[in-house]
Amino acid sequence: MSKGKKSRIALFASGSGSNFQAIAQSVQQGEIPASIAMLICDQPDAYVIKRAEQFQIPVFSFRAKDYPSKLEFEKEIVSKLREAGVDFIFLAGYMRLIGETLLNAYRGKIVNIHPSLLPAFPGKDAIGQAFNAQVKVTGVTVHFVDEGMDTGPIIDQESVKMAVDETRESLQEKIQGIEHELYPKVIKTLLTEAVMEGTKE
């Protein structure tokens, strides 16, 4: 893609979509030079779908159990993304491991946000894992996606100190606050500085 051209991005989410909202607002305000071509959601009842409707962003939602295999639903996702001219994918609380069909179609072009300082606390409930481990510092990581669970190359991280009287809830609030600032900022940098494969001339 030539420099200066607006990227078309897809966001993938499974839940509430507070990160989706932060990114969509940043796009709407012209801070991220992209248009959100589509939300992909594997939970047809998720609140993120309502958020997408408010922003008039097209949604493809599906249930994995309606397909014989991951290969089949990922094939359909790839064809939706191709139809919509999607260049890059940003995962924002998408609770599935990306399979080889999507990885092969969008290699080097899929990014995820994770609520811990990776490689510490990968996988589910990273905030709870860090809280229970009583670490002094945890945080947020934005990274490229590879075959593993939260294992791809790290793009950026921000740390947060665990307060003496921290609760699981207060920690979650702090982490989400950081996510909503960091993810739009990193996406903007990736798309404007030609860091991602395919944004080069």
The residue among 95, 59, 102, 103 whose CA lies nearest residue 79 is 102
x/- binding map, residues 55-94, to ligand GRF, per CB under 6 A?
A: -------------------------------------xx-
Query: Would you say 132 is a known binding-site residue?
Result: no
Cα–Cα distance for residue pair 196/179, rounded to 1 Å: 20
E strand or H helix at 73? helix 70-83
Which residues inside 144-183 make contact with ligand GRF, applying CB under 6 A? 179
Supply the minimum distance, in Å, between the C-beta of residue 128 and ligand GRF.
11
Name the residue with the smallest CB distance to ligand GRF.
93
Instruction: With CB under 6 A as the rule, give the number of residues binding ligand GRF.
Output: 13
Residue 69 burial by Cβ neighbours in a 10 Å radius (0-12, 13-18, 19+): exposed
Query: In the block, which residue shows the tokens 């012209």?
Result: 30
Among 177, 179, 189, CA closest to 157 = 179
Distant-in-sequence, close-in-space partners of 133: CB < 8 Å, separation ≥ 6: 121
Residues labelled as active-site residues: 114
Would you say 188 is a known binding-site residue? no
Q: With respect to ligand GRF, which residue has the nearer C-beta, 9 or 13?
A: 13
As a whole number of angstroms, the distance between CA 99 and CA 117 comes to 24
Closer CB to ligand GRF, 24 or 191, in the complex: 24
Annotated binding residue at 8? Answer: no
What is the residue whose two structure tokens read 């990922």? 74
Tell which residue, 39, 25, 22, has the closest CA to residue 179.
22
Please report whether residue 43 would count as binding ligand GRF according to CB under 6 A.
no
Judged by CB under 6 A, the residue of 9, 11, 13, 182 near ligand GRF is 13
Task: Identify residues 96-125 at the interface with ligand GRF (CB under 6 A).
Answer: 113-115
Minimum CB distance to ligand GRF smaller for 89 or for 199: 89
* CA separation for the pair 116, 138 (Å, rounded): 6
Shortest distance, CB of residue 196 to ligand GRF, whole angstroms? Answer: 19
Among 8, 15, 61, 192, binds ligand GRF (CB under 6 A): 15
Annotated binding-site positions: 17-19, 70, 95-98, 112
- Contacting residues toward ligand GRF, per CB under 6 A: 13, 15-20, 92-93, 113-115, 179
